[in-house]
A and B are shown apart, each in its own frame.
Chain A
Amino acid sequence: MNNQFIKAGLAIVLVAAFFSSCKPKNSGDVVSGDAAQKAYVAPGKYDEFYNFVSGGFSGQVSVYGLPSGRLLRVIPVFSADPQSGYGYNEETKPMLNTSHGFIPWDDQHHTELSQTNGQVDGRWLFANANNTPRIARVDLKTFTTKEIIELPNSAGNHSSPFITENTEYVVAGTRFSVPPDNVNGDVPINTYKENFKGYLSFVKVGKAGEMDIAFQIEAPGVNFDLSHAGKGKSHGWFFFSCYNTEQANTLLEVNASQKDKDFIMAVNWKKAEEYVKAGKAKKVTTKYAHNIYDEKTHTAKSEIRTEVLVLSAKELKDICYMIPCPKSPHGCDVDPTGEYIVGSGKLAALIPVFSFDKMQNAIKNKQFDGEYDGIPVIKYEAALHGEVQKPGLGPLHTEFDGKGNAYTTFFVSSEVVKWDIKSLKVLDRVPTYYSVGHLCIPGGDSRKPFGKYLIAYNKITKDRYLPTGPELAQSAQIFDISGDKMQLILDFPTIGEPHYAQAAPADLIRNNGQLKFYKIEENNHPFVTKGEKESKVVRSGNRVDVYMTSIRSHFAPDNIEGIKVGDEVYFHVTNLEQDWDVPHGFAIKGADNGELLIMPGETSTLKWLPKKVGIVPFYCTDFCSALHQEMQGYVRVSPAGSNVPLTFSLGTNVPATK
């Protein structure tokens, strides 16, 4: 009796101990005590990692610090950016040129850091445009877009911009198969099966990063979704997930979900290279833009190219193989050893893991299950390492920590699940808020993951932040994965819609030779003004070129007269500063484009069409010094045909003209 009483009393103590020491894990409160400490980066201190996050429908790439989640920069890539002048100034307009002309927007889904020997090397960041298929290269010394290449014969460049382990190639795919560019595309939509094709592009990356389409592979008309390169032992292969192998062209939601299995297409790109060398590729006429920004002239050039080399997957039997993969696979991820390929069937309740070695044996021993549109289909079991059973609902993407663990996101069950690659056992699971898409572990798709953090990028935030009307921010959530259990330490809102992201140790980027300003001596802009003495205004017909300088805190010249309605005025502003963090802005009343934001030592050009007679002020928009408010000037606009002479000055009043 007495004993019973003691037991009951102790039980209460025990329960109390549980409650007070470990907070209950319900959806509202899973943050444990030291989370703030783990995510806190003191003022003036630097973050441990750079996180390069796709901007989704913003078209840009955002850069956050980890683990603080502080937004460091938004890099303009595929969308015009009035605040920096990207796509508005004359120098960068060619960056957004395509075979369809100037395009001011795109949908940016995935980012990929350049690699050497399968390790992130901190040189460049690649980004894909999904809508009008393109790949961009961002230079991580300047955090600016240096190159954009358009992809012909494609639509919906989703399985991109993934790279091979020495950045030999960056790839692109076709999510929305279409008739290729060189045939008549004016066909009934219901002729999908005969006329539509899925093209994969292999874009060669040169020593200085310059991109060039080496070849394309014509593959069956399906939806190519995501991809990853083989690495280590599987270097030389690329794996693309594909869905809609039903080849539906309407109500895909139902009609592309009929089959039990779709495919992961394995591409032997080394073999493809050999075929190209052997002259097996067809030269196909097409049209695509290739845009390069030159850091010395501060100017981009756009060139339209008219030919690509195309290999046929159907005719060349041994470059492509189909591996059956359950239920519309989305993510297609290769583990750090290169042996395991994880397919994530987004409608499946299991995760198949394929073995590269088994796949190679299956090919050698011809363990095929017929063909799909002329491409050999490997027997599912012959390539399968095993399946992760009951991991969750709606698997999407997998990254790796380099310690033998895989982490997979589940959109439907809104969670991240950690599992052991070899044993396929589930080790841990954490909820996300809500409906996670991609995830990122620093170096998590490379041969040498840096581990430590996992960031989940969520599609829905609902009640997570203060409401802001119908449109809510998307979010990222950071988990500490250094222990056995994943621990949520922070969540933060993001710009656009974050899809895939990559992260690299801060030192790798900040010690890569970061550029602080452009050397004025090396400025080869055709309209540079090296010193105020050279500043001038030149008329040639109705075109007026203003060679202007800016320095704290004035423009030279700052008084211009003799501009006429109907003129086409180009302000070429050179920032003479030679110190870090001293940009000057340039804005003029009534300009129908954007502003200029000119970095130290740079020259930037704003085109202005004066439409009204009068005095028009211009000023510096970036608070540059104590006398920033004085940094302004005037343009006098006279009627068309006026005889007011063209004059310009600084510091002296020009004698009045009659």
Chain B
Amino acid sequence: MYKLSLFIVAIAMFTSCGKKEKDTEDFSTGSATTEADAGDSSYDPNRGLGKHTSIDLGDKLDVAMAAEGEKIQAVKCSACHKLTDEKLVGPGWKGVTERQKPEWIMNFITNPDPMIDKDPELQAQLEICLVRMPNQSLTDADARNILEYMRQNDGVK
């Protein structure tokens, strides 16, 4: 009996000091997240990736919007894009509104990083330019004005 009780004490010693702290302690209150939609295979190469689903373009150019777009372009875009079809850091703008849907353009310039990861054309472009287009923090209105300026550049009147 005596022997047994001591034995129990010994076992207790073994187990008590070796007790594991609960491993549910998650020190992280969050980690970096990306804006990309996680792994969907339903990427629409016409629309691109982002919140713009449908852009109504007028038949005619909105001159005021295009003028606003030109101002923004001078600060945030012109360092890398020419208005001709000549490549600088990125491709020239000539003809972009004929090659791409307005939704695609709006999504790309407001949400570049996730779209570069998904879009086959942008992937191909990246192999040529080797520079990912930076997020220039455009508001939706900025982006729409730039689109209008691109249309003007492509001859819309």
Residues of chain A touching chain B, judged by Cβ–Cβ distance below 8 Å, are 3, 6, 10, 13-14, 17-18, 20-22, 33-34, 37-38, 40-42, 44-48, 67-68, 506-507, 517, 519-521, 530-534, 549, 551-554, 556, 576-579, 582, 625-627, 651
Contacts and interface: CB of A to CB of B under 8 A. Distances in A.
Nearest to B13: A17
A416 to B, nearest CB: 21
B58 interface: no
A506 B10 contact: no
A14 B78 contact: no
B78 A507 contact: no
Nearest 9 Cβ contacts at the A-B interface? A45-B28, A21-B17, A578-B137, A531-B74, A17-B13, A531-B75, A579-B135, A626-B130, A551-B79
Given A13-B10, A17-B14, A20-B14, A553 B27 contact: no
Contacts of B7: 10, 13
A45 B32 CA distance: 8
B16 to A, nearest CB: 7
B136 A46 contact: no
A470 B25 CA distance: 40
B23 interface: yes
Given A519-B137, A553-B89, A41 B13 contact: no
A42 B134 contact: no
Interface string B1-19: 0110011011101111110
B27 A45 contact: yes
A46 B78 contact: no
Given A44-B31, A46-B30, A551-B79, A21 B16 contact: yes
Contacts, number: 116
A42 B29 CA distance: 12
Nearest to A535: B79
Contacts of A651: 88
B135 to A, nearest CB: 4
A42 B135 CA distance: 28
Interface centre among A6, A17, A34, by most chain B C-beta atoms within 10 angstroms, is A17
Given A46-B28, A551-B80, A554-B79, A17 B74 contact: no
Interface string B27-71: 111111000000000000000000000000000000000000000
B135 A6 contact: no
Contact of A520 (B14, B17, B75, B78): B75
A627 B130 contact: yes
Contacts of A33: 18
Contacts of B79: 531-532, 549, 551, 554, 556, 576
B78 to A, nearest CB: 6
Contacts of A552: 80, 89, 131, 134
Tier of interface size on chain B: 35 or more
Nearest to A48: B27
Contacts of B6: 10, 13-14
Given A17-B14, A554-B89, A578-B136, A507 B29 contact: yes
25 contacts: A6-B2, A10-B10, A17-B10, A17-B11, A17-B14, A21-B17, A33-B18, A37-B23, A37-B25, A42-B28, A48-B27, A520-B75, A531-B76, A531-B78, A551-B134, A552-B131, A553-B89, A554-B79, A556-B79, A576-B75, A576-B76, A578-B76, A578-B136, A579-B134, A627-B130
A68 B30 CA distance: 15
Contacts of B131: 552-553, 625-627
A65 to B, nearest CB: 9
Contacts of A20: 14
Contacts of A551: 79-80, 89, 134
Contacts of B80: 551-552
Contacts of B121: none
A41 B89 contact: no
A45 B27 CA distance: 8
Contacts of A582: 134
B91 to A, nearest CB: 15
B21 interface: yes
Nearest to B88: A651
Contacts of B75: 520-521, 530-531, 576
B29 A506 contact: yes
B13 A18 contact: yes
Nearest to A601: B137
A37 B136 contact: no
Nearest to B16: A21
Nearest to B79: A551
B74 A47 contact: no
A14 B21 contact: no
A45 B29 CA distance: 8
A38 B21 contact: yes
Nearest to B75: A531
A579 B136 contact: yes
Contacts of A47: 27-28
B21 A37 contact: yes
A22 B17 contact: yes
Contacts of A556: 79
B99 interface: no
A625 B79 CA distance: 15
Given A21-B14, A21-B17, A551-B80, A41 B27 contact: yes
B13 A533 contact: no
A46 B29 contact: yes
Contacts of B157: none
B109 to A, nearest CB: 12
A6 B7 CA distance: 11
A551 B7 CA distance: 74
A525 to B, nearest CB: 14
A260 B28 CA distance: 50
Interface in B131-148: 131-132, 134-138
A578 B21 contact: no
A46 B13 contact: no
Interface centre among A10, A40, A519, A556, by most chain B C-beta atoms within 10 angstroms, is A10
Contacts of A6: 2-3
B26 to A, nearest CB: 8
Given A10-B6, A37-B21, A578-B137, A520 B76 contact: yes
Contacts of B21: 34, 37-38
Given A67-B27, A532-B78, 8 more contacts: A10-B3, A14-B10, A17-B11, A17-B13, A21-B18, A45-B31, A46-B30, A68-B27
Contact of A14 (B9, B29, B88): B9
Contacts of A34: 20-21
A13 B10 CA distance: 7
A22 B32 CA distance: 39
A580 to B, nearest CB: 8
